[in-house]
Structure 1
């Protein structure tokens, strides 16, 4: 079997029983289960959810996206070996730690296979909850140009690139295009302030204004749990993105939970501790791939300038990246997953066949 066959690139074509279209995201595909299958699994497996809760199979892939494009490699490599399994393993680890430490539940109910989550439907809070402990990336680029206010927070003069910030900053942005909120542009991924959220909490899908404080608490607690655990591994947790939503449990209680993924190399920046103390930045996250792309192409502005999206998509479509580039990314993802979980990451020879077998024979979701 060649390397390309071990990559799960297409993940929206499995014969899972569903009566709705498969939702195909950049990295994950979501199969909504039929009402009958959802009810049957809740009963059979004893999931702590309302008996009529809609469930879904969330299937990760090895695709890699950066700068809002999907990239591929030579020799038919449509993704990065081990990336999907690494992302799921890391998220699973942090979600379990959050639960163990009494923070909040996640949307995951069951993990039938390293690539697969069974999740409950949540009503999402329409915020990309971003936390920053160091000044780098887009924040540094804006700061270097003279900007001092970020999401309503004033930063002092004299900060240096990549230095630790005086405190953990919450710099939220919109998730999707929100309409009719005063002072918030009708565009995806625009920075918002705490004041915007509190004054319009219902527009962001919060049930009550007190939940804004709850989300901030969960954000800070989640960041601290991951940061402390990574510090023990001599890794620096730089910044990250969380997502939240509401679900109803078996007792009929509505609660705010973590959803999507947490603390992964896709949603966070993680730096190597010894290198950082030595004045170097060694990325153990997708940021290393982004930097590689910026260095690889002669005109990096195409990747950074949203007005050049057509050219950027053409760049991703027409350029197969060298195999060693994707293998370097694989090494980063697998390496940090094994560091975080303390376990060897088992890579499937044929993930699709394994998934079909498990979902058919153990969950009765494939005819």
Structure 2
């Protein structure tokens, strides 16, 4: 079996029983279970959710997305070996730590396979909650051009690239296109201030104004918990994105939870501690792949300029990256996941067949 066969690139064609269309995102696919199967699993497995809560199977892939495009390699390599398993393992590790430390639950109810989560439907808060501990990336690019106000927060003069910020910054942006909110442009991923959120908390799907403070607390606690744990293995947590939503537990209580993934090399920047102290940034996250793409193509503006999206999509579609590039990314993802979890990330021989067998035998979700 070739290495390309061990990559799970297509994850929306599994024979999981569903009566709704499969939702396929950049990396994960979501299969909504039938009402009967949701009720049956809640009862059989004793999940702490309402008896009629809608459940879904979420299957991760090894696809790699950067600059809003999916990239592929030579020789039929449609993703990065080990990437999906590494991302899920890291998220699972942090979610467990959050729960142990009394922070908040997540949308995950069960983990049948390294590529698979069973999740409950949540009402998402329409904010990408971004936390920054160092100035780098897009924030540094804007700061170096003279910008000082970020999401209603004023940064001091004299900051240098990649330095630690005076305090942990929350720089939220919109999730999806939100319409009719004063001062908030109707485009995806636009920066917003705390004042915008407070004045329009229902439009962002908060159930009460008090929950804004709760989300900020969970954001900071989650960030600090991951940051402290990474410091123990001499890694630095630079910035990350959290997502939140509401679910109802078995007793009928609504609660704010963590959603999506947390603290992964896809949603965060993680730097190597010893290298940083030597004055060098070594990325243990997707940022390394982004830099690699910027250096690989002769005109990096195509990747950075949103007005050149057609050219960018053509670039991703028509260029197969060298296999060693994807293997370099594989090494970054699996190495940091193994460091964080203390466990080996092993490549499945045939992930799709394994998933089908487990969901058929242990969950009766495949006919």
The SS at the match of 1:345 is: coil
The SS at the match of 1:185 is: coil
CA offset at residue 346 of structure 1? 2.0
Q: Which residue of 2 aligns with 1:318?
A: 318
Q: Which residue of 2 aligns with 1:365?
A: 365
In 2, the alpha carbon distance for the partners of 1:217 and 1:44 equals 34
Deviations 1:79-107 (A, max 9, x none): 00000000000000000000000000000
The SS at the match of 2:274 is: helix
CA offset at residue 162 of structure 1? 0.1
The SS at the match of 1:75 is: coil
Deviations 1:138-196 (A, max 9, x none): 00000000000000000011000000000000000000000110000000000000000
In 1, the alpha carbon distance for the partners of 2:5 and 2:342 equals 27
CA offset at residue 319 of structure 1? 0.2
In 2, the alpha carbon distance for the partners of 1:19 and 1:200 equals 35
Q: Which residue of 2 aligns with 1:96?
A: 96
Is 1:299 aligned to 2:299, yes or no? yes
Is 1:72 aligned to 2:72, yes or no? yes
**CA root-mean-square deviation:** 0.3
CA offset at residue 345 of structure 1? 1.1
Q: Which residue of 2 aligns with 1:44?
A: 44
Total equivalences in the alignment: 367
Is 1:356 aligned to 2:362, yes or no? no
The SS at the match of 1:204 is: coil
Deviations 1:219-258 (A, max 9, x none): 0000000000000000000000000000000000000000
Q: Which residue of 2 aligns with 1:212?
A: 212
The SS at the match of 1:201 is: coil
In 1, the alpha carbon distance for the partners of 2:167 and 2:349 equals 45
Q: Which residue of 2 aligns with 1:288?
A: 288
Q: Which residue of 2 aligns with 1:137?
A: 137
Map 1:4-153 onto structure 2 (within 5 A). 4-153=4-153
Q: Which residue of 1 aligns with 2:240?
A: 240
Deviations 1:96-130 (A, max 9, x none): 00000000000000000000000000000000000
CA offset at residue 347 of structure 1? 1.5
Structure 1 unaligned residues grouped into runs of 5+? none
In 1, the alpha carbon distance for the partners of 2:245 and 2:198 equals 17
With normalisation by structure 1, the TM-score equals: 1.00
In 2, the alpha carbon distance for the partners of 1:113 and 1:3 equals 20
In 1, the alpha carbon distance for the partners of 2:242 and 2:223 equals 9
